[in-house]
Each structure stands twice: as C-alpha cells, then as structure tokens.
Amino acid sequence: MRTAAVIPAYQAERTIGSVVGELTGSDSLNVVVVDDGSSDRTAEIAEAAGALVVRHPRNRGKGAALRTGLGRALELGAEVAVTLDADGQHPPTEALRLLADPAPAHALVLGIRDLVQAGAPRANRFSNAFSNFFIDLFSGLELGDTQCGLRRYPVEKTLRLGVRENGYGFEAEVILRAARAGWSIAQVPVRVIYPPEAERTTHFRNVRDPARIVFRVLHTFATAPRHR
C-alpha cells in the first residue's frame, strides 16, 4: 500500500525540520508539506529535511492546506495518508503507528488523545468537548476526539467527499460527511505532546474556531447526502 504523510504548516520554521526529519527515513513514505503562506523559512527548512513542498502564496487555512496536501499525495499514488501538525505536538512515531494500524485502507482512522493526561490547557479541553458534543449529535456516533489533526485518510475517497471548509472545520466536516456516507470510522488512542505554555505555538482560537466548526457541522448536516 502506497502511503504519504501530509503536514499543513504555517510559520513553523522552528519545528518543521525535526518533524519532517523523523518521517523521511522510510523509502516508501512520501512526506508532503504544504506551506500555507508562511513568511518565514518553513518551506526552505522542510525541503532541506527531505519533504516535497507545496506552497500557497497566501494563508488560506488549515483545511485548504490539507486538501492541497491530499491532492499532491494522490498525484504521488498514495492510497492512504496520515496527517499531522507541524508544531511537534504529534510525534512522528505516532503518525507512523497510525499508518500501520490494521484498520482497512478504506476506513477513516481518527487519532484519539487523552487531553488530561497530555496536560492540555483547560481551554483546549473545553473546546474539544464542545465540538465533540455537536459532531456526535449530528453524526450519530460516539467519538472520543473530533479535533485531533493526527489521523489517517483514504486519499481518493476523502477528496471525493466534496469538503468545502478551508479552516479548522475541515476535519469536522470530513467526519460528518464520512459518517453520512456510511464509511467505516476507526478510533485509535494516540500520544501527543503539549509543551510548556511559553514554548507553545498555535493558530487555533478556542472560542472563534469551535464556533466555526459548529457552523460547518450544521451546514453539512443540512446539505450533505446521506448513505442509503
């Protein structure tokens, strides 16, 4: 099975090199970094570490970067792709473990974090619980973590879903569209790292972005076709 790792990256020059470097040791894994309009050396460092880099001339959002990365993975012949963040929160070893999970290649595989054990800030835990509630409600599933960016996608099927969200709501929209299409969805516990607050880099806003996710869930629920 041909595989890829897709990493959306924005202003990630401090961490992207080590994330890519830990993934490029496998000859069978294509590492695709989507530089989403960074003004720093993110693209240069990622390429030097061995990644295939695609650049957005301006910042378009995480969802747009993921869609671009999955498209490039498909061009490279990948059947499945694991996605992970560029900030080092998702250990590359966990991404490789998710790729090797025995769930079938056509399944969506969600990484499930233990946010309390990982030391996630209270605001992050609240926003995740908020999003989980709405996505569970409208998908009819019981999901442990709907916001984790460490997950495995069946590449071609995911691109055919027609996901429209360009921001953080992309991952929620994928879940809801996949559930309504009758996909197999697997949940796998994963380890994540939350560095001390002074060292933490995030572009996620704990009030604005969960609200946008809920809006996207409601819109998708109203418009996405249901599996029959």
Q: What is the pLDDT of residues 34-92, one digit of tens each?
A: 999 999 999 999 999 999 999 999 999 999 999 999 999 999 999 999 999 999 999 99
209 near 183, Cβ under 8 Å?
A: no
Determine whether 160 is exposed, middle or buried from the number of CB atoms within 10 Å of its CB (0-12, 13-18, 19+).
exposed
Q: Rounded to two decimals, what is the model's pTM?
A: 0.86
Complete domains list, the chain, with CATH: 3-223 (3.90.550.10)
What tens digit of pLDDT does each residue of 149-202 get?
999 999 999 999 999 889 888 998 999 999 999 999 999 999 999 865 544 555
CB-based contact 81:73 (threshold 8 Å): yes
Query: Picking from 3-7, 13-17, 23-27, which range would have the lowest pLDDT averaged per residue?
Result: 23-27
Residues 177 and 163: beta-carbon distance below 8 Å: yes
